[in-house]
Amino acid sequence: MAKDKKLVEAITSMDVDFAQWYTDVVKKAELMGYSSVKGCMIFKPAGYAIWENIQHELDRRFKETGVENVYMPMFIPESLLEREKDHVEGFAPEVAWVTYGGLNPLQERLCVRPTSETLFCDFYKDEIQSYRDLPKVYNQWCSVVRWEKETRPFLRSREFLWQEGHTAHATAEEAEERTQQMLNLYADFCEEVLAMPVIRGRKTDKEKFAGAEATYTIEALMHDGKALQSGTSHNFGDGFAKAFEIQYTDKDNQLKYVHQTSWGMTTRLIGAIIMVHGDDSGLVLPPRIAPVQVDVIPIMQNKEGVLDKAHEVLETLRAAGLRAKLDDTDKSPGWKFSEQEMRGIPVRVEMGPRDIEANQAILVRRDTREKITVSLDTLAEKITEILDTMQTEMLERARAHRDAHTYDAHNYEEFKDIVANKPGFIRGMWCGEQACEDKIKEETTATSRCMPFTQEKISDVCVCCGKPAKKLVYWGKAY
Amino acid sequence: MAKDKKLVEAITSMDVDFAQWYTDVVKKAELMGYSSVKGCMIFKPAGYAIWENIQHELDRRFKETGVENVYMPMFIPESLLEREKDHVEGFAPEVAWVTYGGLNPLQERLCVRPTSETLFCDFYKDEIQSYRDLPKVYNQWCSVVRWEKETRPFLRSREFLWQEGHTAHATAEEAEERTQQMLNLYADFCEEVLAMPVIRGRKTDKEKFAGAEATYTIEALMHDGKALQSGTSHNFGDGFAKAFEIQYTDKDNQLKYVHQTSWGMTTRLIGAIIMVHGDDSGLVLPPRIAPVQVDVIPIMQNKEGVLDKAHEVLETLRAAGLRAKLDDTDKSPGWKFSEQEMRGIPVRVEMGPRDIEANQAILVRRDTREKITVSLDTLAEKITEILDTMQTEMLERARAHRDAHTYDAHNYEEFKDIVANKPGFIRGMWCGEQACEDKIKEETTATSRCMPFTQEKISDVCVCCGKPAKKLVYWGKAY
């Protein structure tokens, strides 16, 4: 038993040190490893498989809205990056520069894309001539590089994986519609698939994307009460179009600028899954995103017939469309249970000689640890049912946790008290001045997360300066 | 009609100038575009969709053999690239170097991966301790960079997309088995899915991968008689393991080196599809890889009921699992036909008011241009049947073309005559000396493509030097 406990004991409790707990889970669940390039991570099979499922489901939803995938070069010439003023200021300080191709110095430096607005604009400039060429609703799956100083697995690394959508439209209205459509698609995906509730809203000017007219965001609350920006969608208006001269001839024969958007989600989402659902035994994966949903663990597997029956059960589960695996390694059952829990596999099936004799197995839910005995005849149906229930309840629990950690502040004293003592979202009115955002950030380290689409008036005055308030804002410390 | 013809007339005939025909097809079928970074291409939706289908099908086949996907960093520190001598000599002259991160020069240069053997080795060194950790059968989908001087869409570009599998095994036998397994998987994929016959064989030492003990290859013949290396699989033995000290404790408690393999396929395959199947009307896509298999083109679509019926047909085809689209743009039918042909969509459905009245439509096969009239009641079944036939016949035609352009040379005069006058594969015996390969390459520009697994003895002596022959070799000019 000592050996069986080792895997679990090696994890720091999340209440003792959340950051260390997170690092322990990433390592023990074998999601990610460190590489010899500082700040660049290795996605191990268990981590990458989650990303593949995210990709698969997001891509399907994208295509239903008419998105087409493309692939642009990973390099951006310096002169191209500099074309849009706000954009280059936002990104130039943190890009990696290629200066040599083979043995020869390059005539012009190339940066490794930190994001690809400039490349898409350069492309659209030639592709778009007429209203018939619109809209362009393109997306790419790729990695991007930002030379961050401090990094954390999944949350912040010098290279990360993402998708970036870049669209061009005839009218401002259509661009705005697409910006909101993609934000809502992201939010629905988080809630329906990742069981992670999000606040949908708009970023303040201070927090918006470099070069955007408006940035919309979804903000999730982690178990430790910190916020995580989980997806963003930007409306550029015709700013980039003017910088890059992307014009089209409209039906009325007039030359007009296009209106553009971009939107992205990243491998941060894996960090969010860990921090929203995990517990002191490790990862807990929502069934819809779990690469393996069911772990069949035979007990006394050397007894005649046990492994045969376990294989038979495995095939039955797979035939029912479940993502199931069988752990027939020579480890002890206790060790296998710990591994299944650490890796967040939603359901495990325990079956020993006596269970088999009684034509039954024991199902254990990863999140609640609830155990039930089920006839082998109805195993697949029962597991499917449990996975559905678990998916629903995980979302409900995360929402209850989020709501229980969302506080209203009516004045600055209250605000500071909440930041200091109650980790979570703080709802507070705002006058609209950046000075207040700056002051709050400097004095409390909380930032404005978003102005939620669903506005309420919880006070007449700004939570910071006391002047008349314009907007309700969600504030919080953030990853 | 003048307008309708423009699209087709713009293509150079393949018999007049094959290289120009290729470039025309790439452009007119909207597969790829040029970017502002010299030598880096843009995969447009029609090109990228082919790659997505290749990925999807290859990935499925990989996973059936136990492959797990991972993602490694795109950067390799210079000292890591230099660890294996042959390898660094092969790649260092053509890599792109990152020398700045943000505003600061890096302490050590990082190259953008040209291939990731060194990164996987560095990773495996820590991951593999015991025989229980073996085998590792990992793969990644990514882009790689090689600073080529001359580039051509899909065939050679500074950045391209590929998959690279990297495995580690306990024994030499297991590594050899995996090397051959993946080569055969590639060959089956090319034949079954891309309708492209390939020669399976082994590269000579001169042509093998930098650092490999053995490189296996599949070689396809393009329509112009040039060869295209279409996939390779390498057995590294324990060479990399010794350079990187990748050792494991075996069951007998002895410390042993692992044996490694790597294998890859790239976006070159799209170039191969174009050059094996295309004709003077454009691309011809094998049905199994075609992003769109059926193009429904209404005739006199403004007549009442035509578009409604076309939509109905579209839904029926989709419900039957066919990848179908409807072209309801305001272009003329002739123009739409040209576009469908240019893009290589395997089947088009023409349906006008009279067809609808007669409850029928006209099907036209892209490859043979065969037209048949079919009842709307059996449309989906008939198209499915035609697509299967087309897939089979495309492979047969490509094989017949390849066989008709494969020549035996018994001496050097014959060899030179064939190279000069008969584009295709040349089968010729070889003494095993690199001097003969060098001479042949210098004097004829033909290279050894492979020593086929299926060996025959067509002569006793080397086709170049006349000394006793050891192996039958396929020679040819190559892309």
Mean pLDDT for back-to-back runs of 10 residues, chain B (479 residues): 51 96 97 93 98 98 98 96 85 93 94 96 96 97 95 95 98 98 98 98 95 96 98 97 97 97 98 98 98 98 96 98 96 95 98 96 98 97 98 98 98 97 98 97 98 97 97 98
Same domain for A439 and A365: no
d(C-alpha B445, C-alpha B31), whole Å? 30
Upper half-sphere CA count for residue B385 (Cβ side, 13 Å)? 8
Would you list the DSSP string of B337-353? HHHHHHTT-SEEEEE-H
Residue B105 contacts A, CB cutoff 8 Å? no
**Looking at A305-358, which runs of residues are DSSP E strands?**
324-326, 347-351
Q: Which residues in chain B are contacts of A76 at CB distance < 8 A? A: 37
d(C-alpha A412, C-alpha B346), whole Å? 68
**The domain spanning residue B56 has which CATH number?**
3.30.930.10
Total structural domains within chain B? 3
Would you list the DSSP string of B406-419? EEE--SHHHHHHHH
Shortest distance between the Cα of A352 and any Cα of chain B, in A, equals: 25
Classify the C-alpha dihedral B173-B176-B180-B185 as positive or negative.
Answer: positive
Within a domain: residue A2?
no
Question: For chain A, how many helices (H) and strands (E)?
Answer: 15, 23
Domain that holds residue B367: 294-386
Same domain for B300 and B272: no
Of B37, B51, B122, the CB nearest to A110: B37
CB contact under 8 A, B99 and A103: no
CB contact under 8 A, A35 and B100: no
Place of tokens 């039906």: A251
Of A35, A71, A77, the CB nearest to B73: A35
CB contact under 8 A, A35 and B97: no
Same domain for A273 and A338: no
Q: Which residues in chain B are contacts of A127 at CB distance < 8 A? A: 33
Same domain for B441 and B380: no
Within a domain: residue A211?
yes
Would you list the DSSP string of A25-80? HHHHTT-EEE-SSTT-EEE-HHHHHHHHHHHHHHHHHHHHTT-EE-B--SEEEHHH
The answer to whether B261 and B234 are in contact (CB under 8 A) is yes
Within a domain: residue B173?
yes
State ipTM: 0.95
Of B35, B101, B119, the CB nearest to A119: B35
Residues 149-178 on A with a CB inside 8 Å of B are: 158-159, 161
**Residue at which a domain ends, from B247, B277, B307:** B277
Q: Which residue, among A36, A100, A124, A267, would best test binding to B if mutated, counting the most B CBs under 10 Å from its CB? A: A36
The token duo for A126 is 């030639």
**Residue at which a domain ends, from A386, A416, A434:** A386
CB contact under 8 A, A33 and B127: yes
Rounded to 5 degrees, φ, ψ at A161 are -100, 145
Of A43, A80, A103, the CB nearest to B71: A43
Same domain for B335 and B442: no
Residue of A nearest to B43 (CA): A71
Of A71, A110, A145, the CB nearest to B43: A71
Same domain for B188 and B83: yes
**The domain spanning residue A364 has which CATH number?**
3.40.50.800
Size of interface A-B (CB pairs under 8 A): 148
Q: Which residues in chain A are contacts of B167 at CB distance < 8 A? A: none
Of A40, A68, A72, the CB nearest to B75: A40
Query: DSSP state, B156?
Result: B
Residue A147 contacts B, CB cutoff 8 Å? yes
Kindly give the confidence (pLDDT) of every residue in chain A, 479 residues in length, as a single tens digit, with 9 standing for 90 and above.
344 445 556 799 999 999 999 999 999 999 999 998 989 999 999 999 999 999 999 999 999 999 999 999 999 999 999 988 888 888 888 999 999 999 999 999 999 999 999 999 999 999 999 999 999 999 999 999 999 989 999 999 999 999 999 999 999 999 999 999 999 999 999 999 999 999 999 999 999 998 899 999 999 999 999 999 999 999 999 999 999 999 999 999 999 999 999 999 999 999 999 999 999 999 999 999 999 999 999 999 999 999 999 999 999 999 999 999 999 998 999 999 999 999 999 999 999 999 999 999 999 999 999 999 999 999 999 999 999 999 999 999 999 999 999 999 999 999 999 999 999 999 999 999 999 999 999 999 999 999 999 999 999 999 999 999 999 999 999 99
Q: What is the CA radius of gyration of chain B?
A: 25
**Residue at which a domain ends, from A242, A277, A312:** A277
Same domain for B208 and B62: yes
In the three-class reduction of DSSP (H, G, I as helix; E, B as strand; rest coil), residue A165 is classed as: strand
Same domain for B127 and B261: yes
Within a domain: residue B120?
yes
Q: What is the pLDDT of residue B8?
A: 53
Q: Pairing relation of β-strands B32-34 and B247-249? A: unpaired
The answer to whether A298 and A354 are in contact (CB under 8 A) is no
Q: Which residues in chain B are contacts of A150 at CB distance < 8 A? A: none
d(C-alpha B9, C-alpha B18), whole Å? 15
The answer to whether B128 and B136 are in contact (CB under 8 A) is yes
Q: What is the pLDDT of residue A1?
A: 37
CB contact under 8 A, A52 and B33: no
The answer to whether B296 and B314 are in contact (CB under 8 A) is yes
Within a domain: residue B142?
yes
Shortest distance between the Cα of A379 and any Cα of chain B, in A, equals: 25
Give Cβ neighbours of residue B409 (< 8 Å, ≥ 6 apart).
B415, B418, B426, B427, B428, B463, B475
The token duo for B425 is 């594969």
Same domain for B84 and B59: yes
Same domain for A113 and A22: yes
Within a domain: residue A182?
yes
Residue of A52, A17, A23, A280 whose CA lies nearest to A151: A23
Within a domain: residue A265?
yes
The reply to whether omega before B135 is within 30° of 0 (cis) is: yes
The token duo for B247 is 């050792």
Classify the C-alpha dihedral B231-B237-B243-B247 as positive or negative.
Answer: positive
pLDDT tens figures, B321-368: 999 999 999 899 999 999 999 999 999 999 999 999 999 999 999 999
Residue A37 contacts B, CB cutoff 8 Å? yes
Within a domain: residue B251?
yes
Q: Which residue, among B62, B67, B75, would best test binding to A if mutated, counting the most A CBs under 10 Å from its CB? A: B75
Residues 185-204 on B with a CB inside 8 Å of A are: none
Residue of B368, B310, B274, B296 whose CA lies nearest to B46: B274
pLDDT tens figures, B55-106: 999 999 999 999 999 999 999 999 999 988 888 888 888 999 999 999 999 9
d(C-alpha B267, C-alpha B256), whole Å? 37
In the three-class reduction of DSSP (H, G, I as helix; E, B as strand; rest coil), residue B251 is classed as: coil
pTM of this structure: 0.96
- The Cα diameter of chain B in Å comes to 81
Q: What is the pLDDT of residue B10?
A: 75
Residue B479 contacts A, CB cutoff 8 Å? no
Question: For chain B, how many helices (H) and strands (E)?
Answer: 15, 23
Of A33, A37, A76, the CB nearest to B75: A37
Q: Angle formed by the axes of helices A306-319 and A379-404, to 10°?
A: 70
Same domain for B317 and B180: no
Q: Angle formed by the axes of helices A172-192 and A45-64, to 10°?
A: 140
Shortest distance between the Cα of A189 and any Cα of chain B, in A, equals: 22
CB contact under 8 A, A35 and B99: no
Q: Which residue, among A40, A41, A42, A134, would best test binding to B if mutated, counting the most B CBs under 10 Å from its CB? A: A42
Of B68, B97, B161, the CB nearest to A99: B97
CA dist A344 → A284, B42, B84, B159, B392 (Å): 4, 39, 39, 37, 45
In the three-class reduction of DSSP (H, G, I as helix; E, B as strand; rest coil), residue B56 is classed as: helix
CB contact under 8 A, B49 and A71: no
Same domain for B430 and B311: no
Residue of B311, B264, B309 whose CA lies nearest to B67: B264
